[in-house]
Amino acid sequence: MVGRIVDLTHVIEPTAADAERKFVVNIHDALQEVPGTARPEGEWYVMSDVELMDHVGTHIEAPLHCLRDGMDLSQIPLEKLIGEAVILDLRDAYSDSGVTLIQVKKAVDAAGGLKRNDIVFCMMGETDYFSTEGIRWLVDSGIKLMGVDSAGVEIPHSVSHANENHLALFRAEIPLIERLANLDKLSKPRVQVYALPIPVEGLDAFPLRVIAIE
C-alpha cells in the first residue's frame, strides 16, 4: 500500500533564449525529419538535445562539487538516497550568522529527535543558510543526506570562499539537496523519502525527483 505521496520537486521550465548563462535550460531538436515523410495529423517523432546548468531546480550536489576526489553522482550509494527524513522547521530561526546550533537543536526536538542514518530536510526562513556549528552538529549526529528548500546552505559574502558548510557535509560523504519544494505540505515531521538522481559519471550535481510518502 502506498501512502500519501508528496512531490518535493520544483518543475523545471526551459529558460528564454536570451537568459543569463548561469542556470540556463535549453531544449533543441536532436532529430531532423526526413524530407518527404508524411505523418498522420497530431503525430511526430522527436528527440531533444538538452543544455542544462547542473544546479537548476531541485538538485543534488555530490561531494565532487567541492572536493576534487569526492564522489560523483554515479557513486552516491542508494542507501543514502532512500530512508526516513526528519523535517526541521527553521522558518522562524533568524540569525545574522546563519541558523545557530541552538536553533537547529530546538527544531530537532520539535520534530521528535534525530537518529543515526536519518535524512534531514530543512524548511528555511529569512535566514536561509547555516552557521557552521549548526551543520557540524547534524553531521556529527550521523545524518546520511541533507536537503534545504533554500538556494544553499553557505554563509553568504564569505570573503574566504572557504565553502565551509558544503565541506563539512562533503567530507563526511553527505550529499546536499538544494531548492526542495513543498516541505510545508507534509503533515508529519518524519516521512519516508526517495531522492533519486540519474547516475552520471564525472558530474558534481544534477536535478532529481524527490518524493515523500506519508
- Return the number of the residue (72 or 178) whose C-beta is nearest Zn ion: 178
Q: How far is the CB of 64 from Zn ion (least distance, A)?
A: 12
Which residues, numbered 170-199, are part of the site for Zn ion (CB under 5 A)? 178
Contact range with Zn ion by CB under 5 A, out of 30-38, 55-63, 95-103, 104-112: 55-63
- Which grid coordinates belong to 102? 541552538
Judged by CB, which is closer to Zn ion: 15, or 117?
Answer: 15
Q: Which is nearer to Zn ion, 65 or 144 (CB)?
A: 65
Cβ atoms of residues 146 and 176 within 8 Å: yes
Question: To the nearest whole angstrom, how small is the minimum distance from the Cβ of residue 2 to Zn ion?
Answer: 30
Rounded-to-integer distance, Cα 136 and Cα 158, Å? 18
Nearest-approach distance from CB 58 to Zn ion, in angstroms: 10
Nearer to Zn ion, 114 or 180 (CB): 180
From the list 145, 93, 140, the residue with the least C-alpha distance to 119 is 145
- In the chain, which ranges are continuous DSSP H helix? 101-110, 132-140, 164-170
The three grid cell numbers given for residue 69, joined into one nine-digit string = 576526489
Q: Which stretch binds Zn ion (CB under 5 A): 10-18, 26-34, 54-62, 133-141?
A: 54-62
Interface with Zn ion includes 55 (CB under 5 A)?
Answer: yes
Q: Which residues of 97-110 are buried (b: 16+ CB within 10 A; e: fewer)?
A: ebbbbebbebbbee
**Residues of the shown chain interacting with Zn ion in the complex, contacts defined by CB under 5 A:** 55, 178
